[in-house]
Structure 1
Amino acid sequence: MTVWDRPEPPTRPAPLDRDRIVAAAIALADEGGLDAVSLRKVAARLDAGPMRLYGYISTKQELFDLMLDAVYAEVLPEERPRDWREALRVLAVRTRQAALRHPWLADLLGGRPTLGPNALAVSEATLSALDGVTDVDTGMRAVETVSAYYIGAIRREVANLRAEHATGLSKHDWQRAHGPHVTNMLATGRYPALAKAVHDGADVDSETSFATGLDWVLDAVAAKLTHPPS
């Protein structure tokens, strides 16, 4: 039985429910990442005894599942997408936006399918846009392909943000600090392709990079949908 199938305990004198527990856990994670979340710390934030929480949540993993599903409510499209391409774009963009608000989300994306009501609603909104456009298997592969792109891109972006926070160095500060080493290595002539990329490549921000890569992936998916393999 999943945490969503298990009923909550009867109301007790001090108000407590899963929504309040999850909100407190998300606040802790937003402040200090998933390592800052424990049933004991959540209980302390709610001014409740830790054992009370076990009536609502059995394990930390269940708590993470509930936190993830709560954030999927932010990913759920506000309006029905017009077509499959918009549906997949909205899924990618809104997931990235949610991860920038809640960086710990990057650590929970991917892996086994999430079964909470909000996650299922997101999947329904996405897959329904592909219904009638292609067969079920091809539609699933399309979603998996786009998901693989944006999850990887989000994790890289969040990792960079964490590095900036940990070192106190922005991207450009880091580049300036390591510039002499890179210059010396490129001057050896052993890395001509890399040298060309460093000297001639455009410096784009994370949002532009994400949007460009997403467009390329969607173009590739569109080509498969238009010209399916024989």
Structure 2
Amino acid sequence: MPVPLSREKIAATAIRLADTHGLDGLSLRKIAKELGVGPMRLYDYVINKSELLDLMVDVVYSRIAEVGERSGWRDTVLAIAHATRAAALEHEWFSDVLGGRPHLGPHALAVGEATAAALNAAPGVVDIDDLQRAVGTLNAVIIGSVRREVTERRTARSTGTDEAAFQASLGPYLTRMLTTGRYPTVARLVIDGAHLEAEETFHHNLTTILDGITRRRST
């Protein structure tokens, strides 16, 4: 009896493989093997790997969309942003596709609509130009933050060292460079700066951006 398939089942298997091996280790042949079917059967459900990736991405967006609309525009934006970060940390490959080609699946569009509608209600957004800038700035902060955090996690895994060990390995070089006196502000950051907790920093940066959006332009 043929193994029952569906787009949802294929996407779930692909996500599981990508979580383990990354997008570079993902192929329709591997997915077919995992499902116990011939590769050609998958083409009845997805045209190619590109369509499969779109499907996977929209599954992740469906979970982000579950946060729903909150009581105020600011709480809605924060909930969506934190849900996006959580999704990228759970599915690291998702951070690789953020900011790339547009995500136009139904759930991705729903998240985009909820975000834009919330920002449109911010006191400082008075026209379409304000809204475009607000959406662009928010997306840049979210994408930049999650990509950096995921990259740091990957680096720690690949080198087998934690952040403290990594810093210690660079200590002699940094000491030589910073004692030249040419980089006083960088020295202050390295010597006096505390290790910032990632989630708290992410939230702080978001609220700073939203504070700026709420300020009306002077006439």
Asked if residue 148 in structure 1 is aligned to residue 140 in structure 2, the reply is: yes
**Is the CA contact 1:43–1:50 (under 8 Å) kept in the aligned structure 2?**
yes
Cα displacement string for residues 185-218 of structure 1 (whole angstroms, at most 9, x for unaligned residues) = 1112221111111122222121122122112111
Aligned mate of 1:97, from 70, 83, 86:
86
Aligned mate of 1:27, from 16, 34, 43:
16
Distance 2:53 2:165 in 1: 35
Q: How many residues align?
A: 216
Matched with 1:64 is 53
Change in 2 beyond 3 A, CA 1:229/1:16: farther
Matched with 2:65 is 76
Correspondences of 1:175-186 after superposition (within 5 Å): 175-186=167-178
Aligned mate of 1:38, from 27, 44, 56:
27
Asked if residue 165 in structure 1 is aligned to residue 164 in structure 2, the reply is: no
Change in 2 beyond 3 A, CA 1:144/1:229: farther
Asked if residue 125 in structure 1 is aligned to residue 114 in structure 2, the reply is: yes
Residue aligned with 1:76, SS: helix
Distance 1:44 1:229 in 2: 61
Aligned mate of 1:208, from 200, 210, 216:
200
TM-score by length of 1: 0.87
Give identity over the alignment, percent: 47
Moved more, 54-63 or 128-137: 128-137
Amino acid at match of 1:61: S
Amino acid at match of 1:187: T
**Is the CA contact 2:3–2:36 (under 8 Å) kept in the aligned structure 1?**
no
**Structure 1: gaps (5+ residues):** 1-11
Matched with 1:51 is 40
Correspondences of 1:186-225 after superposition (within 5 Å): 186-223=178-215
Moved more, 35-44 or 136-145: 136-145
**Structure 2: gaps (5+ residues):** none
Change in 2 beyond 3 A, CA 1:229/1:45: farther
Structure number having the greater helix percentage: 2
**Is the CA contact 1:80–1:125 (under 8 Å) kept in the aligned structure 2?**
yes
Higher RCO structure, 1 or 2 (CA under 8 Å, sep 6+): 2
Question: 1:229: Cα distance to partner?
Answer: 6.0
> RMSD in angstroms over aligned alpha carbons?
1.7
Question: 1:130: Cα distance to partner?
Answer: 3.9
